[in-house]
Amino acid sequence: MSDFDYDLFVIGGGSGGVRAARIAATHGARVGIAEEYRYGGTCVIRGCVPKKLFVYASKFSEEFEDAEGFGWSVGERSFAWDKLIAAKDQEITRLEGIYRRNLDNTGVEIHDSRAVIEDAHTVRLLSTGQTITAKYILVAVGASPNVDNSLPGGEHVITSNEAFHLSELPNRVVVAGGGYIAVEFAGIFNGLGVDTTLIYRGPEILRGFDMDLRRTVREEMEKKGIKVVLNDTFSSIEKQSDGSLIGRTNGGENLAADQIMFAIGRSPHTRELGLEKAGVETDAIGAIKVNEESRTNVESIYAVGDVTNRANLTPVAIREGHAFADTVFGNKPWTVDHSLIATAVFSQPEMGTVGLTQEEALERTPNLDIYKSSFRPMKHTLSGRDEKMLMKMIVDADSQKVLGVHIVGPDAGELAQILGITLEMGATKADFDRTIAVHPTAAEELVTMREPTERLRG
């Protein structure tokens, strides 16, 4: 029996922390975990899950319209925001219960408290003042949304945290930001009938993704009625006497809104966590520096998930937590490969992507074959909707290895998951060509693109 209260103490009951705690406990470790808000963390409580539920809700407006092309007459429609919020809250509470039960069932001791680090083996629970010792500490505290404190009137804006709890659906929203959270929320509000503007400081939304997809998503969003303002930022936000807001921009726009939501990035949640007391190193934005085993510079302290700012996605945090627990407590060492991560953006239309963008691929080799197909999805031949689907495949011209596949259109996220497997296996263009199409689907385009649309040669 060691002198420590626990073999492992986990700070943060989100995606990475909960997985690590459960796996460590199943390996026989004595584990405690602390969560300052709600178990399940960002993804379950105020991230992926409620966001996707909102996306579903927002898509019905187009579904009703599209149905008419197929002979349906849809009667008068109305939408009740309070019903959506109540249903969403009920589901989140159910999931939170599952998270707590799963921890409990594996013997993990649950603490409902903020925890801070006192030294390399000690944490303190702020709710009780109790200090707890552990052989290992895992920091899995995630990240929180950035706000711009220097912006005059910045106190009037909301972030994604508040967007999930608005007491009423605003008539007009401005979303600031160009990343996936901003783009997804612009689509949600627009689909729910809100007059929506997206303002982004860069020349194109969704930085980091393939340029063809970025442009396509933005153009399709504009067709759906979202006003997109690029190369511009707020200079001030003013509250009017009726409670509404005016966002003044450096480009001279005056954007009237009932809510202004900032989605301008997220920062690791490391402030006042006591990391300096244990000597844990962080980088310029406060992310904890770790090696490939997720160990910090302090032998007994590890960190996983968004707090390490590697790839800030739930499945990645879960993998990192799992690998940590197997390695340290299960005598089964392994590390997470961050080089190939399939992912989706639940924009409208949706985006699914895996592997290198054209821009990234060009940095590796100048010889690329690009296959691109843009077409109207079959459903819209009858619905009449003017919406394009885009598929793009990037192939190394010398080895014929598929380096990246990028899709905009219905179910693109679902396709990205399967494409992730093919790219993990090192598929070549010939492997795709050999595969018989599934007809009639949009995905069959992936195995029927015969000739490159572009041959890039260095």
Ligand X SMILES: Cc1cc2nc3c(=O)[nH]c(=O)nc-3n(C[C@H](O)[C@H](O)[C@H](O)COP(=O)(O)OP(=O)(O)OC[C@H]3O[C@@H](n4cnc5c(N)ncnc54)[C@H](O)[C@@H]3O)c2cc1C
Does 176 bind ligand X (CB under 6 A)? Our answer is no
Both structure tokens of 280: 């844990």
Nearest to 352 by CA among 306, 322, 392: 392
- Looking at the Cβ atoms of 16 and 191, the one nearer to ligand X is 16
Least distance in angstroms from the C-beta of 303 to ligand X: 9
Which residue among the candidates 27, 156, 322, 439 is catalytic per the annotation? 439
Both structure tokens of 270: 């490391």
Number of residues that bind ligand X (CB under 6 A): 35
- Looking at the Cβ atoms of 180 and 371, the one nearer to ligand X is 180
Does 173 bind ligand X (CB under 6 A)? Our answer is no
Beta strands in 187-233 (DSSP E): 195-199, 227-229
Does 187 bind ligand X (CB under 6 A)? Our answer is no
165 is catalytic: no
- Looking at the Cβ atoms of 270 and 422, the one nearer to ligand X is 270
Phi first, then psi: give them for residue 40, nearest 5 degrees. Answer: 115, -30
User: What would you measure as the largest C-alpha separation in the chain, in angstroms?
Assistant: 73
Does 42 bind ligand X (CB under 6 A)? Our answer is yes
Does 135 bind ligand X (CB under 6 A)? Our answer is no
Rounded CA-CA distance 421/343 in Å is 12
Of positions 100, 135, 269, 429, contacts ligand X by CB under 6 A: 269
Distance set, CA 151 to CA 161, 196, 249, 291 (Å): 19, 21, 11, 36
Both structure tokens of 193: 């009938």
DSSP state of 252: S
- Restricted to residues 302-361, the positions that interact with ligand X (CB under 6 A) are 305-307, 312-315, 317
The residue range among 35-43, 148-156, 404-412, 448-456 that interacts with ligand X, by the rule CB under 6 A, is 35-43
Residue 95 and residue 44 in contact, taking contact as beta carbons nearer than 8 Å = yes
Does 35 bind ligand X (CB under 6 A)? Our answer is yes
The residue range among 134-142, 186-194, 328-336, 439-447 that interacts with ligand X, by the rule CB under 6 A, is 134-142
**x/- map, 273-302, ligand X, by CB under 6 A:** x-----------------------------
Does 13 bind ligand X (CB under 6 A)? Our answer is yes
Element at 175 (helix H, strand E): strand 172-176
Does 37 bind ligand X (CB under 6 A)? Our answer is yes
Looking only at the bridges linking them, the beta strands covering 343-345 and 389-396 are unpaired
Of positions 34, 57, 192, 237, contacts ligand X by CB under 6 A: 34
Taking the CB of residue 25, how many other CB atoms lie within 10 A of it? 23
Of positions 25, 115, 260, 323, contacts ligand X by CB under 6 A: 115
Rounded CA-CA distance 35/118 in Å is 17
- Looking at the Cβ atoms of 249 and 308, the one nearer to ligand X is 308
Both structure tokens of 102: 């799963």
- Looking at the Cβ atoms of 263 and 368, the one nearer to ligand X is 263
- Looking at the Cβ atoms of 169 and 393, the one nearer to ligand X is 169
Of positions 5, 7, 10, 11, contacts ligand X by CB under 6 A: 11
Does 142 bind ligand X (CB under 6 A)? Our answer is yes
Distance between alpha carbon 144 and the CA centroid of its chain, in Å?
13
Taking the CB of residue 119, how many other CB atoms lie within 10 A of it? 16
- Looking at the Cβ atoms of 185 and 329, the one nearer to ligand X is 185
Does 160 bind ligand X (CB under 6 A)? Our answer is yes
Rounded CA-CA distance 342/339 in Å is 10
Nearest to 422 by CA among 445, 405, 441: 405
Report, as residue numbers or ranges, the catalytic residues.
Answer: 439
Binding site for ligand X (CB under 6 A): 11-17, 34-37, 41-43, 47-48, 51, 114-116, 140-142, 160, 181, 269, 273, 305-307, 312-315, 317
